[in-house]
Structure 1
């Protein structure tokens, strides 16, 4: 499995989260100033420079549980609050949207173009903040540095790792059901008519070779409408991405509902998907970045966002939510003791010239800190 998959998974899921929150903020007529603050706080936290640099280091994928915990914390990085049912729905929409996009990628490298589409859109959401724009520009730099020069084989490993992460998630989403791209069992129905990947030939020719030479050619009709892609797509900070995958499908207000299929599999993943202990390092770093102090917790400007059409629907969904302590990673950054521990963990992330500790020793120290917390 590729050790470069994690940042692409995080950024794309984050992009889908921003799309959904923007749609719900508008649907609930949240005042523009509050909506702007929510977007700026969440994007600023998501693209925090130190956190991004840690995320882009080669590492194993997070478990499904750890990834969900990251986004639970991230969604509450501002004055907005979501109850458990709305958070479940938000994460379901995020994961299924990105799963569909990965499934539709014509070439393995298109995963990077989808990611860049998400970053492009996120940048538009925070266009009024110079500070956050600089953070996003740094993410463009990291994406280009780490992914632009990868081979097709390396991108294929990344795509396989992403599809493996989503393998047991079959959640019905109304927007996909209405467009007939998802079946009633939650599985996607991929179209036959599609563009031809850049650099490949139109289907309809069979060539027979002997001694590395073409000895016979047969042409046949496909009865399918294909179209060619004339450009490879830009991996630069700005440029034509040549794909709509990863763009905002909620630009037109649509009522999006979800319902779970194979819930036990989609929430915890396959039985062999044990949590990655190293993921807790990033979880604790993120907890420090978005940790709520007492003043923020009592902010009178805080408001609740409902991911359902009505409060009644949210209440019904909440009643069906089963609390499982073993599925939760609790991070409390509001207490002084926890804050001190998180500060020590963040100090371990800082690499200085006189630091003689090895990577293994530092990992042991981090685990010891978490065990003692």
Structure 2
């Protein structure tokens, strides 16, 4: 699958520090010090509607990680998926009377445009669920060889208890797992399952649903096995960070890890697990099921500067839950205008301290709000010196700060 175009990534004259990141599985901060290429897998969209701010919040957050690693001198292999066949997509296509392939292609293209506008660095591996089916079949066969797959009618299920580490990533008690499993696409009540938490890996063909040939009969992949197979193929085991929204902690990331760890005994799926908070709107978590969505494309079509959208996201720490409001966006529009005014002066307050402070903030668990505050301090100092810059300013400051804003925060001003 084709990703979106890569924006220019300027090289900084200084190297950033190593990145420390909060790890969901250990419930603490861990320094990420990749040996060789840093591996990042971020779970993608199910393309049955346009990109909303909840999506954008997650992808901008881990774009900061991608950038911080590169600024620290690491090569990065970023892998990303699109779940371009799944129940919500098929249901949406049926509801609106559109072919599901056409719907998936249209919304995936809109997603590409949104990510490009927000200057999110594209993945090196961008894989759709449909094209991952051969990978899924191979992984299911490996799980069968491990004795971890069984049939319920014509469907195949994965026994979560086959993974001795099951539950370590999320740290949740079983009652909470069962509740979340039911809420997030699981089927704990299905008769014939060995354990209510066992996950579907191959759904046998149903009438009027797409299906593909396999050694198990015609059908299509389960959700968790798709991401597990794509990540394993692109990054192998023990890659640096598995990431996504906090609603993926369980069951998605827990079961993805289980699939791979059973297929590859003694190997860990990912070194760290990192999760972005949820974005609310009108008092509820922003979600397609509730219909309380703010779309990136709608704001772009209303001539809102994408850099103001990105800045609004950066003003919230990636792990926090927060509420989107129009007032925040309009404040960011004004801030972007002010920052451009300062950068247009040609000289400003000394750049070295602000560059170092911003890189340090982002290396400290992606603390974008502190980085934004530090830039604002530099802007205030620079604008306050207007009229007597020749005597007390850095003549190269604006170029250095503009380069840093682009490389570290993804803000091209």
Which TM class, normalised by the smaller chain length? under 0.3
Greater helix proportion: 1
Normalising to structure 1: TM-score of the pair?
0.26
Please state which structure has a larger fraction of its residues in strand: 2
Q: Which has the higher contact order (CA 8 A, sep 6+)?
A: 1
TM-score under structure 2 length normalisation: 0.24
